[in-house]
Amino acid sequence: MEGEPDRNGGARLAEGVAALGVRTLFTLCGGHISPILVGARRAGLRVVDVRDEAAAVFAADAAARLSGTVGVAVVTAGPGVTNALTALQNAYLAQSPVILIGGAAPAVLRGRGALQDIDQLGVVRPHVKWAARARRVRDLVPLLYEAAARAQADVPGPVFLDCALDLLYDEAIVREWYGAGGGSGRALRARIERWYLRRHVNRMFGTVSASVEVPTPRVTPAPRADQIAKVVEMLTAAERPVLLLGSQAVSRVDRADALAASVGALGVPTFLSGMARGLLGRRHDVLYRHRRRDALRDADLVLLAGVPCDFRLDYGRHIGRGARLVAANLSRREARRNRRPTLTAVGDAGAFVTAVGDGAASDWGRWTAWRAELRARDEARATEIARMAAEPGERVNPIALCRAIEEAAPDDAVFVLDGGDFVATASYVLAPRGPLRHLDPGVFGTLGVGGGFALGAAAARPGAEIWVLYGDGAAAFSLAEFDTFVRHGIPVIAVVGNDASWTQIARDQVTLLGDDVGTVLRRTDYHVVAQGLGANGLLATHTAQVPAILAEARALAGRGRPVLVNALLDRTEFRRGSISM
């Protein structure tokens, strides 16, 4: 490696990332990782530098979910790594294949009080599937490829690679550093130090393989034919079946269209959650959006595809006691969490549903009455929402705002949701335009994903219109990323639902405890903050203004300008009693 200054460890690692099919690397700079960033640009990667390490991991998470490849974030040592932990845990619970590369103190100085030297592996391990530390330059790329394989294998999730600073810089520079550190004296201690440092450097920069084979994705076992036949038999006997698809069902991005076709042909009344939202487009005969709990309670057969019985299904209590339950999941433990299924299919949930759809007869007539009942419920709820959207107020009606966004957003739009009450309201109104055009935090319910998710969505869907819906509480977590949007020319359209409160918490806190302490905010001028960061800012103070302001926002974005709409909301009781735990 000596004599190849442009091929230091950082460059080799960056080239390895490019070889994985990754096109964008997310980071916040630091001296520990500079060679990786320089190497990444030379390797043709787009380097998007953010204002908070968490945003880098959120961006990598979003890019992974939408692209079908791993997402990669690189952060500096110590606080750079610890700042990323919440985003890592979010990716872990969302089963998103993210590689986090963390710079680290020089190996020879580990444990001796070096700058930002902490036990990074000990800190990160509880939040990832796998973590490893590179000890030699020749280990960097093989460990990267092992990280990629582990991130995508079985139940996907984040992994961590710890890379000491002295593995990443040019060998000549490192030898110079350590030569100076050993002193030039003839005393025994000086000679021992020089010997130790030379030995350490020689071991780090030993023979490096010219190339390492890129790993091939592990093949998920095909669905079992006997289980497919059993589910087809159950469907034939069922009078009130329901299919609920979750994020895991669309983890194979390349198979989303085939899954959608099979679900449509199957004809089972279908509800979508998580990343599966939008799988069937905005409108489909088998798609239902409202009164899911009632449908699950009344069903005689429930198929859960990549959905565990956690708090979102009231730990399985949403499903009627007499119903037969089929759970398809990559994890046997998740498939059986809180409620034991009639049939457990361990493996790719999307492939399982596709196989069932391919094997079942398309005879929708069997469920005509059931489908009509569900459609009537769906339409009744939609009518109720429309009525509430028309209610007059002094400021912006949040439901009317969401309906206006639904009308304004084009067919290629990607929605990023980051917030509590306002964003949850939007989920009742906004219809994702197609497969993998919807991003929310997932089961962890993390606030602050907005800026990073928007960056990841822009990387995975170049040219698409990216809409970020923020609650005013959540907006503060990533508002600084408007600086990133401006610097990197990413024309995000953000809408802040500004009701001057952490409303999702306040509504029940005041009702149950009689005190709003800690939940009160200001009607802050978020649009002015966006302007200060170099973007455009617009203010909506009344519902009647909203359509024209959204049109202006789209026009600005069309000219390459990120824009934030600060919508001053009226309070509503639309989601009273909706707190989750």
pLDDT tens digit string along 345-378?
Answer: 999 999 999 999 988 876 667 899 999 999 999 9
Q: How confident is the model at residue 222 (pLDDT cuts 50, 70, 90)?
A: confident
Which domains can be identified in the chain, with CATH numbers? 5-204 (3.40.50.970), 225-371 (3.40.50.1220), 390-568 (3.40.50.970)
The average pLDDT across 207-218 equals 69
Percentage above 70 pLDDT, the chain? 92
Higher pLDDT, 214 or 319: 319
The answer to whether the CB of 74 falls within 8 A of the CB of 33 is yes
pLDDT of residue 182: 47
pLDDT tens digit string along 469-498?
Answer: 999 999 999 999 999 999 999 999 999 999
pLDDT of residue 578: 54
Helix (H, G, I), strand (E, B) or coil at 262: helix
Quote the CA–CA distance of 192 and 369 in Å, as a whole number.
86
The answer to whether the CB of 410 falls within 8 A of the CB of 465 is yes
Quote the CA–CA distance of 144 and 160 in Å, as a whole number.
9
343: DSSP letter: E
Quote the CA–CA distance of 382 and 367 in Å, as a whole number.
22
Measured in whole angstroms, the distance separating CA 156 from the mean position of its chain's CA atoms is 12
Which segment of 132-136, 204-208, 577-581 scores lowest on mean pLDDT?
A: 577-581
pLDDT exceeds 90 at position 415 = yes
pLDDT exceeds 70 at position 188 = no
pTM for the whole structure: 0.93
pLDDT tens digit string along 229-254?
Answer: 999 999 999 999 999 999 999 988 98
Q: How confident is the model at residue 508 (pLDDT cuts 50, 70, 90)?
A: confident
pLDDT of residue 221: 77
pLDDT of residue 113: 66
pLDDT of residue 1: 37
Quote the CA–CA distance of 66 and 435 in Å, as a whole number.
9
Computed over every residue of the chain, the mean pLDDT equals 91
H/E segment holding residue 100: strand 98-104
In which region does residue 345 sit, left (phi positive, over 0), alpha (psi from -120 to 50) or beta (all else)?
beta
pLDDT exceeds 50 at position 82 = yes
Beta bridge partners of 564: 494, 537
pLDDT exceeds 90 at position 160 = yes
pLDDT of residue 214: 77
Measured in whole angstroms, the distance separating CA 378 from the mean position of its chain's CA atoms is 29
Closest by CA to 163, choosing from 210, 107, 79, 99, is 107
What backbone phi and psi angles, to 5 degrees, belong to 493? -110, 115
pLDDT of residue 218: 67
Provide the total of helices (H) and of strands (E) in the chain, helices listed first.
24, 17
The average pLDDT across 319-334 equals 94
pLDDT of residue 114: 67
Quote the CA–CA distance of 347 and 154 in Å, as a whole number.
8
**The residue to which tokens 């991991």 are assigned:** 57
pLDDT tens digit string along 15-68?
Answer: 999 999 999 999 999 989 999 999 999 999 999 999 999 999 999 999 999 998
Between the ranges 83-87, 253-257, 280-284, where is the mean pLDDT highest?
A: 83-87
Quote the CA–CA distance of 568 and 525 in Å, as a whole number.
10
pLDDT of residue 5: 44
Q: How confident is the model at residue 562 (pLDDT cuts 50, 70, 90)?
A: very high
Quote the CA–CA distance of 72 and 64 in Å, as a whole number.
8
Between the ranges 141-145, 218-222, 509-513, where is the mean pLDDT highest?
A: 141-145
